[in-house]
Amino acid sequence: MAFGRLERTQGDAPMSEINVTPLVDVMLVLVVILIITAPLLASSIRLDLPKAEGAQPGDAPRFVTLVLDKAGQLFLNDKPIAPAQLAEQLATTAKQNPETEIQLRADRAVPYGRVIEVMGVAHKAGLSRIGFVAEPSK
């Protein structure tokens, strides 16, 4: 019996290099996103925060930021606010959620009495959860 010759043609050899072009494209997009969003994450108000042993980075799930700079100016969520308006804003916040935490960031040069006054305004508005923000000591 005559059978034809069984020949197998060699196919293309498997490619052993990884195509990194899509990886580079994704990484460049992530770098651009990081460059755009990084300045938005930092607070725009410069303070010299005191150092504390127990300070830990982290935020409460629901909070408002109250800043008191060394000139005595008040900022609520990084926006300047007058002391009279502060009581109204905090009362509104307390009506929406009485468990809202105030993260108080006071400059080291601010007198203690001024910090207590701001705490009193917050307590009178109905917000009793106050956290003091400090930098960890090194």
Flag whether 85 is in a domain.
Answer: yes
Flag whether 39 is in a domain.
Answer: no
Higher pLDDT, 28 or 83: 28
Residue 59: per-residue pLDDT: 39
Angle at which helices 112-125 and 83-96 cross, to 10° = 40
Q: Write the CATH number for 85.
A: 3.30.420.270
Q: With 0.95 as the threshold, say if the pTM is over it.
A: no
Nearest in space to 47 (alpha carbons), one of 93, 96, 105, 92: 105
Flag whether 106 is in a domain.
Answer: yes
Flag whether 48 is in a domain.
Answer: no
Distance between CA atoms of residues 111 and 37, nearest Å: 34
Flag whether 99 is in a domain.
Answer: yes
Flag whether 29 is in a domain.
Answer: no
pLDDT over 70 percentage in the chain: 83
Distance between CA atoms of residues 87 and 68, nearest Å: 15
Flag whether 30 is in a domain.
Answer: no
The number of distinct structural domains making up the chain is 1
pLDDT digits (tens, 9 = 90+) for 61-83: 488 999 998 888 999 988 999 98
Residues spanned by the domain of 68: 60-136
